[in-house]
A and B are shown apart, each in its own frame.
Chain A
Amino acid sequence: MSERLAPTTTPDTKFFWDALKDGKLLIQRCKGCQTLRHPPRPMCPRCNALTWDTIEASGKGEVYSFVLPRHPRWPWFDETYVVALVQLEEGVRIVSNLNDVDAADVTIGMPVEAYVEHFDNVSLPQFRPRRNA
């Protein structure tokens, strides 16, 4: 087991982090106009409704952008790790890690799928190349 830097949960983001503890990746949905949004925030920018619910993401997405941070080195990561901006099939994007792949094989547009990893101090969405893509 290992740790990651943990988020400071706010009233606006608590649902997102809590659901990950239960293994679910949620996307916020406006109750006024049904628009999905991520990262979580209190007001819908389209209709200004303050009421919202959530849907569970399918976890399917594509790499929209990615980088390999090399410096500085951090205690929480291996020498090579991939940070990806993933476009989920529901239409929102999320930053996460892309694992189980050689960094040299990562491409923009690559199909990926989400899973939840339970670190010692926090549960986080993670991605890997999509099987049966």
Chain B
Amino acid sequence: MSRSLAGKAAIAGIGQTEFSKASGRSELQLACESIKSALDDAGLAPRDVDGMVTFTMDSSEECEVARNLGIPALRYFSRTTYGGGGSCAVVMHAAMAVATGAADVVVCWRAFNERSGMRFGGAAMQGASMLPPFLDMYGPYGLLTPASWVAMQARRYMHEYGATNEHFGRIAVVDRKHAANNPGAWFYQRPITLEDHQSSRWIVEPVLRLLDCCQESDGGVAVVVTTPERARDLKQKPAVIRAAAQGAYDDGEMCTSYYRDDVAGLPEMAVVGNKLWKDSGLKPSDIQTAFLYDHFTPFVLVQLEELGFCKRGEAKDFATVERLSIGGELPINTSGGLLGEAYIHGMNGLTECVRQIRGTSVNQVPGVEHALVTAGTGCPTSGLILGSS
């Protein structure tokens, strides 16, 4: 028996709420709505569910979700760490549960009011006098936001490889181009040009402008994971897990891995990528489309390198708008990504890749056999390869 998850689980359903800036309802309600929507999509009922995986950061308790949906018995429940870094790990955990028989039908979700409720980005620090311990070595000096943590690392990448903020801007243009064609995206029908990007204000100079940073959104996204055999008997074409991996690396921190010999890379993503290629038996040229987690544009370039789509330092030349857009060699973030569609901690990139496998995306890539999905970067992360069979 092969010791990998390849072919042992599948995503049978996807669901979501609308994506907004003020949902007007509780995070628990968003979680329940998105899970019900995913079960309806699969053709399953809440009573069929016996497993749950969400993020450690998610505010909805498993038992509260179960008692709202009417899920009678849970046999497996777990959570994944490091925020958006766990957005593929939830599926990996669910797939492991399904593959081992710990559970038969596992729902994974992320639901939050990240814009109208508790915002990230240091807003909570505005009235604070003391720092949480993980910020002890950064907060006193004014490095208080995810944008600034990422920018310090990306600034070194720019120095070593000659990448500029304009190179990063191409990712924003690609995402907004795809979002412009997605009625569910916040930035539907609002594409941008590289000039728009270059004239947007600095958030962290000289690395990140406003249009390099993902949105803040309210919403919920859920998926249903079960065995490929069961998935084939349900309503939708299954998106089969060809590989799934988490990755952390030596001397790392949550978002401030500044102490390694090499600060310009994302070795966590290399850990993930190496495992994905090994377990799937695939190579980068076998991937037709990808969601590359785009909380901040520079790390999309670094991911292209760490995953082997191009060589170290070459992403600034590889990552052209043409290559990464619909019709190009490697269309990415076809729903608009976290910049263009919504920021649901990566889960909306995952569901878009499921649609690509099904052939139902608004920006459908022809003949998708394999889609690559990544999770939040700069921190411990995760990734998936989904297949059409």
Query: Which residues of A line the B interface, CB within 8 A?
Result: 4-10, 13, 38-39, 45, 64-72, 74, 76-77, 81, 83, 85, 92-97, 108, 121-122, 124
Complex-state Cα separation, A9 to B121, whole angstroms: 23
Which 8 A-B residue pairings sit nearest by Cβ, starting from the closest? A7-B136, A68-B205, A65-B156, A70-B202, A67-B151, A5-B139, A4-B140, A65-B155
Asked if B140 contacts A124 (CB within 8 A), the reply is: yes
Asked if B136 contacts A71 (CB within 8 A), the reply is: no
Asked if B259 contacts A72 (CB within 8 A), the reply is: no
Residues of chain A within 8 A of B128, CB atoms compared: 5
Closest to B122 in A: A72
Per the CB 8 Å criterion, the residue count for chain B at the interface is: 44
Asked if B152 contacts A85 (CB within 8 A), the reply is: yes
Complex-state Cα separation, A68 to B142, whole angstroms: 10
Asked if A7 contacts B203 (CB within 8 A), the reply is: no
Complex-state Cα separation, A4 to B152, whole angstroms: 20
Q: Report if B251 contacts A (CB, 8 A).
A: yes
Q: Report if B123 contacts A (CB, 8 A).
A: yes
Residues of chain B within 8 A of A68, CB atoms compared: 202, 204-206
- 6 A-B pairs with C-beta separation under 8 A: A5-B139, A6-B129, A9-B136, A67-B207, A70-B203, A95-B141
The answer, among A5, A8, A64, A76, for a CB contact under 8 Å with B263, is A64
* Interface-centre pick from B136, B138, B147, B207 (highest chain A CB count, 10 A): B136
| CB of B41 to closest CB in A, whole Å | 39
A71 and B259 in contact, given A81-B142, A97-B141, A97-B142 (Cβ under 8 angstroms): no
| CB of A35 to closest CB in B, whole Å | 12
Residues of chain B within 8 A of A76, CB atoms compared: 142
Residues of chain A within 8 A of B145, CB atoms compared: 69, 72
| CB of A120 to closest CB in B, whole Å | 11
A69 and B143 in contact, given A6-B129, A6-B131 (Cβ under 8 angstroms): yes
Complex-state Cα separation, A8 to B152, whole angstroms: 23
Asked if B156 contacts A67 (CB within 8 A), the reply is: no
Residues of chain B within 8 A of A121, CB atoms compared: 129
* Interface-centre pick from B143, B145, B210 (highest chain A CB count, 10 A): B143
Residues of chain A within 8 A of B143, CB atoms compared: 67, 69, 83, 95
| CB of B193 to closest CB in A, whole Å | 22
Complex-state Cα separation, A96 to B153, whole angstroms: 14
Residues of chain A within 8 A of B202, CB atoms compared: 68, 70-71
Q: Report if B310 contacts A (CB, 8 A).
A: no
Residues of chain A within 8 A of B256, CB atoms compared: 95
Complex-state Cα separation, A39 to B256, whole angstroms: 11
The answer, among B123, B126, B137, for a CB contact under 8 Å with A95, is B137
A77 and B203 in contact, given A10-B133, A67-B148, A72-B122 (Cβ under 8 angstroms): no
Complex-state Cα separation, A64 to B206, whole angstroms: 15
Q: A7-B130, A13-B136, A71-B210 are in contact. List 10 more A-B contacts (CB 8 A).
A: A5-B135, A10-B136, A69-B143, A69-B204, A70-B201, A70-B203, A83-B142, A94-B137, A97-B142, A124-B141
Residues of chain A within 8 A of B28, CB atoms compared: none
Residues of chain A within 8 A of B139, CB atoms compared: 5, 7
